[in-house]
Copies of this chain bind each other. A is one copy, B any other.
Amino acid sequence: MSSTSLQFTDRSAHRAWLATQAALPAGFRVGTTRFDFTPREAPKPAKMTLTLIVLDEPSPDFAAMFTKNAMPGAPVLVGRRRLDGPALAAIVVNNKISNVCAPGGVEASERICAETARLLGFGAQQILPSSTGVIGWGLPVEAMTAALPAAVAALAGGSIMPAAEGIVTTDLYPKVRRAAVGAGSIVGIAKGAGMIEPNLATMLVYILTDLSVPRTALRAMLARAMDVSFNIISVDSDTSTSDTVTAISSGRVPCPDLAAFERGLQQVCRDLAEDVVRNGEGVRHVIRVAVRSAADAPQARALGKAIVNAPLFKCAVAGNDPNVGRLVQAIGKHVGAQAPGTDLSRLRVRMGGIEIFAEGVFQLDPAKETALVAHLKAAELYASAPPKDGVFTAPIDYPPHERCVEIDVELGQGQAAATVLGGDLTHEYVSENADYRS
């Protein structure tokens, strides 16, 4: 899926490569600040980072996609209003508190926008707010407005890295991807680990370009890009109340070819989506499921999601255990529940290129078992480190490689296909999410 096939031996090698991706497109500046505050719902001190992404001039050419969760956060409600506005000038992002269904949440987001606009000399309606973190708590508006001038003072062009690092929370590492198109570029950053809503994280994606692409075209292309990137990943099946993907053009560089721009946009989205899974909470194996010869694309995608979300199969992958019975169980559960009566007699399943199911029965032997174990081990990102006080934490903060556990499912129903990415289910995931918010 990734257009690259990267390997890194340590954090500094990864950071050096990120720097090659991070040049800001013309017309943008970013700045961040970090400060202490005390949440009102559970009074113990916490830290928050504010990140600003600012256009030199307000631009009419922006696009945004938001979560489908029926309990969306206040920034999502405000962001949907902004889509109808004439132009966008800046994005203000906070972590630690997601501002979802908190009393007075929309008013709090609007106050942050108004103060950001005042400091930058724009209109409040030109500011898009984003928040990620604990659901249910309210934004510390006073502390945030007091901190905003420092973020404004930090604004600088050149590199998107301060923003890429400012928005991360439980992420293992920052995520930056770029594509060059003609004389311009598309640069995206992401935080979070996919559809999950972990302790302090959510998926937020910001894609900046200096290529001039009209609003209508940009929105249509961003919507299409979702179906081959963020809509086909799942870390743990939970859908955040705050997921947001935004694309903004500063319009500084003429776009030579809209089709080339769309290819670049899709590449950046696909690469970031895979990054989000690969650094997902507790993910030790990325699982890529290609479903083929399905009746239609939604069916193919739903089956792929069912496989990467099946807890027992995810646990087996975590243990480098080719327990392919659990994989077929997941297929059978999904088809039995969603499309009972489907003829599965032409079902063929491969893992790592090795046929494990065909002609209605498993195709297993000890030699295949050995080869499947080798495939799983090769896709492992890291081995569990011994837990400290029972808590498992990832021993890496960079992606050592881009290999996946490769699953290939032929349904024998039709011509449609879809590829889905997910992760395994590990002690690191439980440790990350069964401990107290803090």
Contact = CB atoms under 8 A, between A and B. Distances in A.
A425 B430 contact: yes
Contacts of A336: 67-71, 239
Interface string A237-278: 111110000000000000000000000000000000000000
Contact of A335 (B70, B98, B325, B339): B70
Interface in A194-227: 196-199
Interface in A286-344: 310-312, 315-316, 318-319, 321, 323-326, 328-337, 339-340, 342, 344
Nearest to A135: B325
A316 B361 CA distance: 39
A200 to B, nearest CB: 11
Interface residues of A, number: 78
Interface string A68-111: 11111000000000000000000000000010111101000000
Interface in A418-438: 425-427, 429-431, 433-437
Nearest to A335: B70
A73 to B, nearest CB: 10
Contacts of A364: 41, 136-137
B71 A238 contact: no
A366 interface: yes
Contacts of A199: 323
Please name the 4 residue pairs, one residue from A and one from B, whose CB atoms are nearest each other, closest first.
A135-B325, A71-B332, A315-B433, A319-B434
